[in-house]
Amino acid sequence: MGYDTNVRRVERGDTFVGQSNVVLDAVERASRAAALNRPVLVIGERGTGKELIAERLHRLSPRWSGPLVTMNCAALPETLIEAELFGHEAGSFTGAAKTRHGRFEQADGGTLFLDELATLSSPAQDRLLRAVEYGEVTRIGASKPIIVDVRIVAATNEDLPSLVDGGRFRADLLDRLSFEVVTLPPLRARAGDIPLLAEHFGRRMGVELDWPNWPGFSARAMSDLENYHWPGNVRELRNVVERAAYRWEDAERPIDAIQFDPFHSPWAPLRAGGEVRPAAEAVAAQAAQIDPPSAEIAPASTGDFRGDVTAFERALLEDALSRNRFNQRATAAAIGLSYDQLRHALKRHKLLDAGSG
């Protein structure tokens, strides 16, 4: 893959995984539009796979052997957008030491994927409209246009018609780009796809971790995954699943600990004003509701002080392990010990293998 700060050539092994009707319909619509030399808009929340649809549109098109060039419009300051898109001549502005081809020229004969389209400035929208209408671009500082053969695929998570109504997006540019509109469903609407995706990402992570076999998820962990709202959609699911596998210490036992918010911690810094982050608070409340602490863990006194203390410490450890689903790192954090301290205590009480049965 060739990369620079603002543009990527999309060449990856990822593809859409799913069997729900809503996602199959979206993929089918993109597949049908791929063969036509027309612009396509891809709409969807963050993490729904807009770039994968762009790649599919390119790979199934007659342009498949040409370049697929991606530019994130939101990643550039407004002053550089036009230079990146259309290129510039040497000396056309301060810092332009040599002539540079823009993204349109780089994508000649192929596909240009414009991500975060709604962030384009008005001047950039004006020049993009001309490029789409006439198939020509003019480098900054040049007097003659350059003919390019580029198919545009653009993506956004914004409601572009509303932006047009508010005067923030050109109506004629939207008309030119919306020959076909593929709207991707959020993960929460993809019935039955969460277990499929979780297994897919989990197995890939297991290979990366050199696990001999994929243990899968426990029924409780899978239920947690299916009942979560997934504001970050498939990208968030992938992170959660891979993190759960990476933190799991027993590759022979189904993964039984899921952490949705990686920032949740008893020692997490407070937000400005001293407030707890809502996501962390919600996850903590959810965990407490699913697995409340034991009401009574202290054993009855036997008259042997040292023995009672030892038994009480063991009961505390057993309770903490149970409440944290036998995830030792999570248990250590929950009771204020380092991981090594917890392991030493578990070894002392012969609890290292607790929960493995």
Predicted local confidence at residue 294, as pLDDT: 54
Confidence check: pLDDT of 117 > 90: yes
Residue 333 CA neighbour count, 13 Å, CB half: 13
Once rounded to an integer, what is the mean pLDDT over residues 193-198?
Answer: 97
Predicted local confidence at residue 99, as pLDDT: 83
The DSSP H or E segment spanning 220 is helix 219-227
Q: Rounded to an integer, what distance in angstroms lies between the CA atom of residue 29 and that of residue 181? A: 9
What residues does CATH 1.10.10 cover in the chain? 292-357
Predicted local confidence at residue 296, as pLDDT: 56
pLDDT tens for each residue of 63-91: 999 999 999 999 888 778 888 898 888 86
Residue 179 near residue 191 (C-beta atoms within 8 A):
no
Nearest one of 36, 140, 133, 33 to 79, comparing CA atoms: 140
Predicted local confidence at residue 312, as pLDDT: 85
Confidence check: pLDDT of 191 > 80: yes
Confidence check: pLDDT of 156 > 90: yes
Predicted local confidence at residue 279, as pLDDT: 47
Map residue 43 onto helix, strand or coil: strand
pLDDT tens for each residue of 45-65: 999 999 999 999 999 999 999
Rg (Cα) of the chain, in Å, rounded? 27
Once rounded to an integer, what is the mean pLDDT over residues 107-117?
Answer: 96
Predicted local confidence at residue 335, as pLDDT: 86
Confidence check: pLDDT of 235 > 90: yes
pLDDT tens for each residue of 265-308: 777 777 665 555 554 444 444 444 434 445 456 566 777 778 77
Predicted local confidence at residue 80, as pLDDT: 83
Q: Rounded to an integer, what distance in angstroms lies between the CA atom of residue 65 and that of residue 2? A: 16
User: CB count, 10 Å around CB of 137?
Assistant: 25
Please give the mean pLDDT across all residues of the chain.
85
Q: Rounded to an integer, what distance in angstroms lies between the CA atom of residue 60 and that of residue 36? A: 10
Q: CA dihedral in degrees (28, 30, 32, 38; nearest 10)?
A: 170
Per CATH, the architecture of 7-185 is what? 3-Layer(aba) Sandwich (3.40)
Predicted local confidence at residue 297, as pLDDT: 61
Lowest mean pLDDT among 96-105, 116-125, 144-153, 297-306: 297-306
Class of domain 292-357: mainly alpha
User: CB count, 10 Å around CB of 59?
Assistant: 16
Residue 11 near residue 1 (C-beta atoms within 8 A):
yes
Predicted local confidence at residue 3, as pLDDT: 32
Confidence check: pLDDT of 163 > 70: yes
What residues does CATH 3.40.50.300 cover in the chain? 7-185
Q: Which two tokens stand for residue 109?
A: 């004969």
Q: Rounded to an integer, what distance in angstroms lies between the CA atom of residue 305 and that of residue 307? A: 5
Q: Rounded to an integer, what distance in angstroms lies between the CA atom of residue 88 and that of residue 98? A: 8
- Main-chain dihedrals φ then ψ at residue 173, nearest 5 degrees: -70, -40
Q: Rounded to an integer, what distance in angstroms lies between the CA atom of residue 50 and that of residue 53? A: 5
Q: Which two tokens stand for residue 60?
A: 């199934």
Confidence check: pLDDT of 6 > 60: no
Predicted local confidence at residue 299, as pLDDT: 61
